[in-house]
Amino acid sequence: MTDFSTFEPRTDRPKVVITDYDFGDVDIETEILEAVGAEVIALQAKEEKDLFEAASTCSAMINQYARIGQQTISHMNNCEVIARYGVGVDIVDVNAATQREILVTNVQNYCTEEVADHAISLWLALARKLPDYDRATHAGIWRWQSGQPIYRLRGRTMGVVSFGKIGQAIAIRAQAFGVKVVAYDPFVSANVAASMGVEVVSKEELLTGSDYILMQAPMTPDTHHFLSDAEFAAMKPGAIIVNTGRGPTIDNKALYRALTEGHLAAAGLDDPEEEPAKRSNWTPKDNAIFTLPNVLVTPHAAYYSEESIRAARVTAATQVAKVLTKQKPDYTVNAEALAFQTQ
């Protein structure tokens, strides 16, 4: 962690607003930010309107699940930086921030191992029918046939959607089980993939040729409902879907149809489409996916370990502290756009 004791603290007591958090406290952030003379204000906002008053006087905002959209940014008079606790910035209106000359930062490389491990865990649990066996044995049924049919992993094909650092870490783990890995990612170098024994293919080739599809896609206008009715219909019968990327990249209503009609075997989701943590009120009844026994859902926990949570908190707060003390932050989202805009 950066030693801020060597920096000259701000004397104007800038306000840093933490929009929301589920860590239990904000002690880590407070220690880092008070060291540079900032005041920390912790909220639990679930709607944008909950941020308007704080936005008008803040010098920085850090958000976990709460959206910082154009409306919130329009209330900002002195904000210098908006910092995300995670990698994705789909819940920050980066364009609006750039127009107001507000830097946006994120946290990178803090949970690659955790997400890859989680994706592989969901895949193996579904491929080996562990939920089926668990339900049966708890009901007093002791038969290997409870999971029938199960197919050997070795020799089958896994398609990875989005082949960045996490997608690559998934591929390395999967290859240890003897599966062939192909990837779809318009932005990845075929040479990089080939160096890992992975073939870059088209979306259609990945859908039609994969026994298992592991989604790690970010949320963008192009990836919303990346998998829907047409894509599920193109997949192999009995395919397994795992999503440890953004929930809305999969159309959950279409997924429900594909699973209940028997075309797909199972799905593992680290986040359903509605992303419950971003809602003020939520119940599993909102999504029919939760009624299916062949769907595993985890509460957006793929990134979690004690080590990764601490890294995310320290890094997000450090980005803010660096900006407030005129230091260069480590991870910026719109720095180039701001530089171009101010030329």
Q: Which one from 80, 246, 273, 313 is the annotated catalytic residue? A: 246
> Counting every residue, how long is the chain?
343
Asked if omega into 149 is within 30° of 0 (cis), the reply is yes
Asked whether 237 and 258 are in contact (CB, 8 A), the reply is: no
Strand, coil or helix: 21: coil
In degrees to the nearest 10, what's the CA dihedral of 138, 139, 142, 143?
A: -110
Active site residue 199: no
Q: Which one from 84, 118, 173, 300 is the annotated catalytic residue? A: 300
Active site residue 275: yes
Pairing of strands 103-105, 239-243: unpaired
Sheet holding 239-243, edge to edge: 199-200, 180-184, 157-161, 212-215, 239-243, 264-269, 295-297
* CA distance to 124, 141, 176, 214, 299, per residue, from 242 (Å): 10, 28, 18, 5, 14
Asked whether 157 and 211 are in contact (CB, 8 A), the reply is: yes
Q: Which one from 39, 199, 205, 275 is the annotated catalytic residue? A: 275
The set of catalytic residues is 246, 275, 300
